[in-house]
Structure 1
Amino acid sequence: MPENDSLLLDTANRYGTPMYVYDGDALKEHYGHITSWLHQTAEVFFSFKSNGNFAIASLLRSFGAGIEVASAGELLMAVKAGYSPQQIIFSGPGKGKEEIDIAIQHEIYCIIAESKEELIYIAESAKHQDKQASVGIRVNPESIESRAKIKMGGVPSPFGIDESKLKEVFDLFQMYDHSLLFKGIHMYLGTQVLDETSLLSSFEYTLNTAVRIKNEYGLICQMVDLGGGFGIPYFQHEKPLHAERLFQNVAELIRSYETELEGTRFIIEMGRFLLAECGVYLTAIQYVKESKGQPFLIADGGMHHHQAMTFRGRLLRNNYPMRLIKHSQKTAPVVKQSIVGPLCTPEDLIGRQVELPQGEVGDLLCIEKSGAYGLCYSPTLFLGHPSPLELLLFEGNEYIVRDRGKPEDLLLKQETSLFKQRRAEYETDGASSRYD
């Protein structure tokens, strides 16, 4: 058994399953490589949405990352994790008014406005709080090729302000000059991009837009958020990005704009690319059955903990990368078998006809590339199963960074006394006359 599999099996035996295991040392090394290839031309901001664990955010802050939040909850966690206001940006197309109020109150580096109406509310809130809000504009470009798996710009979209409408937005900065400070622009065309040329082309478009805004509107971009969208390969037909070459080319591209965008702070957002390959999800096989000639392995974890690994809503219905760690040393033949979770829905399909060693009760299924968009992306309340434990391995230590949930957690924040009196009255009065 490989050393890593032996470690995971031992970890699962001691802590139980299902569980997430994050490799903090791998994350530190990965982050170090990325920042060294960028050569300080750009700052890496962690996209909190990709993994909502407080300890992961704290660890990345200790490495030097900034953070991009998309809710008041994420903002307050980021502050508690030690991020300074200058390290926080707030994006999202539907920020609530109270969320905007909180962001202004904390004087974060930049609120990314995604509509004219949002910008007006930011200005009014800042005026009410007697503050000046630092605001960036998310630009939805008129036309740009994007090979993102999920497109978020360059098409009709709730994200960002159409490039053709920038003038009327910039007029608001003059109208509210005491309440609004123009910080710069943000462009994010899509996620899970595995084409280097497409990424570099979108970044160049963003930089050109910043120069055009300076020349046409006289507005200096103190910040240019290039977005991100760096993909990782999940399926066999996908090829990984050549990270070193890509980030060195990004650094060179930024340097080529240093004269026209002198003093600008360049930001690159990362979530999936930063974290996905630094975490795994472990779930144990609890039943083995056959139905109409097909073998099924039934695991104790599933869609409610890790929606992305299942076939729910997936455009390309391929199996996630996974391996089976045998609990015994005996060799098992490789066979095709389907793996499902415990939920009462056919959508809880972990793998369809996967070629793995023949599964037995007690074997451990390891879902790879699960450090991003795992638990935080999943319907955890569906069917009421407890949440999984999350474990961080870092510098020779093991840290439980989220304890395993309990069945009674379902009652948290719910009103349980509302109908007690009425039920008691029914049982007393109703029962006596029920069969009269």
Structure 2
Amino acid sequence: MAREKDIGRSELGDIARRSKHTVGLSPVGGAIQLEAVDLEKLAASLGTPVYVYSSAAIAEAYRSFKIAVGEDVSICYAVKANGNLSILAQLAQLGCGMDIVSGGELERALAVGVPPLRIIFSGVGKTREEIAWALDTGIHQFNVESASELDLIACVAEGRNVRAPVALRVNPDVDALSHSKISTGRKGDKFGIALEQATALYARVAASPFLEPVGLAVHIGSQVMHLEPYRRAYARIAGLTEELRATGLPVHRLDLGGGLGISYGHGTPPDLGSYAGVVRDTVGHLCAELTVEPGRRLVGEAGVLLTQVLYIKPAEDADIVVVDAGMNDLARPALYEALHPVTMLRPRGGPTRPCRIVGPVCESADAFGLYTHLPALMPGDRIAFLSAGAYGAAMASTYNARPLVAEVLVDGSRYAIIRRRQTVAEMMALEADSRWRDMKSNDDSDLGAVST
């Protein structure tokens, strides 16, 4: 990790209060419950590592967001944050649309019954096959990120004799003041079309018989903890909208992106009402259809990752505590120097003992951080990484031949296994057909090619 972070005792108390309110964690009879499910008993029954999510927390997060932005603003959940089918289904039932970035996410959204007209296709690398499928499905719009992509969408649409609904994603050159690896709206980032190129490109869209210019889109990054970057980005989109309309070009929709942060134990997340105020102040006068795309804000604080202590390596400054969850299960600490709050599932008293919690993966980056608020941990203790509902299971891998872990959704006192634990045999089955093929035979029937 680039730098170690530390959560102290007083800070943890604040985290616990916040998490208890938003996630549904509560101490009951010496045990930690998520809603009314004893997490220690659940971990003992299902094994660890395991992700557990609160259905009530997801519903409350969506409703709070909807109340803040108002009924006239559409919400499309950023599927990349957590694409589990059961979570998508719950959000769809609440009336949420979906922001997707791949054909796989399109398939997931359709599988849980999301109407195509509530699906927005973002992302810089849409393939011809993905574009064709999205057109055939009849999605709400494509957020286009380059002139080359625009040309491909027009070509595919022409082949189907349809018009593709297109919004240009503009790069506003605004720093989200977030981690560099999750900032997307600065000049030089791979995302979006430069502001100075947008007017000419939008005119190209309007001139094409196979493209329908529906509006503009912007997204400045993820885990954004300050509102001023939104204000600057939205003001620039408002100015571009007025400029386009002044030339007679229609701009009916504005997709304002997402990225609102949550607390991982430091900093205060943006207030939803204040965010909605920024939206109203900057683009509310434009009489456009508005869409926002929260991801982490809807599911991040609803999830925990349960893990068990395997070994203790005593040290003078801080013990090294090896747990059975690794960077392949929760990549954020290794990728972003992120620190997740931690609690024991069976809290106990005693003097605190600083520890560095690490995983079993054969990488020095497999480390979760320095913690000073816990008592001396012992093998067999179970702990929970909090605020793990977003970019946790969604980013997991099978590195070191470690199977993908199970995911569980709780609702009151009941739970459902919404993704069973993968087995090594299932992993190896994907590699079973290793026979040689002769390319000279011109038989590509089993190469996985997709035609449109």
TM range (shorter): 0.7 to 0.9
1:39/1:251 contact within 8 Å kept: no
Which residue among 242, 259, 273 is the counterpart of 2:297?
Answer: 273
Task: Tell me what 2:381 maps to.
Answer: 363
1:324/1:357 contact within 8 Å kept: no
User: Separation in 2 of the partners of 1:222 and 1:91?
Assistant: 18
2:272 corresponds to which letter in structure 1? Answer: A
SS in 1 for 2:314: strand
> Does residue 233 of structure 1 match 2:263?
yes
Cα offset for 1:335?
0.6
- Counting only pairs closer than 5 Å after superposition, residues 177-256 of structure 1 correspond to structure 2 as 177=209, 179-216=210-247, 218-236=248-266, 238-247=267-276, 249-250=277-278, 252-253=280-281, 256=284
Which residue among 351, 359, 381 is the counterpart of 1:333?
Answer: 351
- Counting only pairs closer than 5 Å after superposition, residues 76-91 of structure 1 correspond to structure 2 as 76-91=107-122
1:133 corresponds to which letter in structure 2? Answer: A
TM-score (norm 1): 0.87
User: Separation in 1 of the partners of 2:169 and 2:317?
Assistant: 54
Which residue among 359, 364, 369 is the counterpart of 1:351?
Answer: 369
Query: CA, structure 1 residues 189+251, in 2 after alignment: closer, same or farther (shift >3 Å)?
Result: closer
User: Separation in 2 of the partners of 1:62 and 1:332?
Assistant: 46
2:215/2:252 contact within 8 Å kept: yes
1:330-381 CA deviation, whole Å, 9 max, x = no partner?
5332110111111111111122354311111221111011010001123x12
> Does residue 2 of structure 1 match 2:31?
no
User: Separation in 1 of the partners of 2:40 and 2:231?
Assistant: 41
User: Separation in 2 of the partners of 1:292 and 1:35?
Assistant: 50
User: Separation in 1 of the partners of 2:412 and 2:239?
Assistant: 43
Task: Tell me what 2:205 maps to.
Answer: 173
1:148/1:193 contact within 8 Å kept: yes
Count of aligned pairs between the two proteins: 403
1:148/1:189 contact within 8 Å kept: no
> Does residue 159 of structure 1 match 2:191?
yes
Task: Tell me what 1:72 maps to.
Answer: 103
Query: CA, structure 1 residues 170+252, in 2 after alignment: closer, same or farther (shift >3 Å)?
Result: closer
User: Separation in 1 of the partners of 2:147 and 2:161?
Assistant: 21
- Counting only pairs closer than 5 Å after superposition, residues 24-43 of structure 1 correspond to structure 2 as 24-43=55-74
User: Separation in 1 of the partners of 2:207 and 2:253?
Assistant: 21
1:17/1:283 contact within 8 Å kept: yes
Cα offset for 1:176?
2.0
Cα offset for 1:253?
2.7
> Does residue 45 of structure 1 match 2:76?
yes
1:116-157 CA deviation, whole Å, 9 max, x = no partner?
11111101101101211111111112x445434332113112
Task: Tell me what 1:313 maps to.
Answer: 335
2:121 corresponds to which letter in structure 1? Answer: F
1:282/1:364 contact within 8 Å kept: yes
User: Separation in 2 of the partners of 1:10 and 1:272?
Assistant: 27
User: Separation in 2 of the partners of 1:246 and 1:322?
Assistant: 29
User: Separation in 2 of the partners of 1:167 and 1:351?
Assistant: 47
> Does residue 96 of structure 1 match 2:114?
no
Cα offset for 1:254?
6.5
User: Separation in 2 of the partners of 1:20 and 1:131?
Assistant: 43
Cα offset for 1:158?
1.7
2:409/2:415 contact within 8 Å kept: yes
User: Separation in 2 of the partners of 1:207 and 1:395?
Assistant: 44
1:391/1:402 contact within 8 Å kept: yes
1:88/1:109 contact within 8 Å kept: yes
Cα offset for 1:174?
4.1
Cα offset for 1:44?
1.2
Task: Tell me what 2:14 maps to.
Answer: none
Which residue among 61, 76, 86 is the counterpart of 2:92?
Answer: 61
Query: CA, structure 1 residues 174+320, in 2 after alignment: closer, same or farther (shift >3 Å)?
Result: closer
1:199 corresponds to which letter in structure 2? Answer: Y
User: Separation in 1 of the partners of 2:202 and 2:331?
Assistant: 41
Cα offset for 1:95?
1.1
2:78/2:99 contact within 8 Å kept: yes
- Counting only pairs closer than 5 Å after superposition, residues 256-295 of structure 1 correspond to structure 2 as 256-257=284-285, 261-262=286-287, 264-290=288-314, 294-295=318-319
User: Separation in 2 of the partners of 1:59 and 1:325?
Assistant: 27
User: Separation in 1 of the partners of 2:301 and 2:162?
Assistant: 41
> Quick one: higher RCO (CA 8 Å, sep 6+), 1 or 2?
2
Query: CA, structure 1 residues 297+83, in 2 after alignment: closer, same or farther (shift >3 Å)?
Result: same
1:226/1:269 contact within 8 Å kept: yes
2:322/2:360 contact within 8 Å kept: yes
Task: Tell me what 1:301 maps to.
Answer: 325
User: Separation in 1 of the partners of 2:414 and 2:245?
Assistant: 50
2:327 corresponds to which letter in structure 1? Answer: M
Higher-Rg structure is 1
Give the fraction of aligned pairs with identical amino acids, expressed as a percent: 28
Query: CA, structure 1 residues 396+203, in 2 after alignment: closer, same or farther (shift >3 Å)?
Result: farther
Which segments of 5 or more consecutive residues in structure 1 lack a partner in the other structure? Answer: 420-436
2:200 corresponds to which letter in structure 1? Answer: E
Query: CA, structure 1 residues 277+350, in 2 after alignment: closer, same or farther (shift >3 Å)?
Result: same
Query: CA, structure 1 residues 292+407, in 2 after alignment: closer, same or farther (shift >3 Å)?
Result: farther
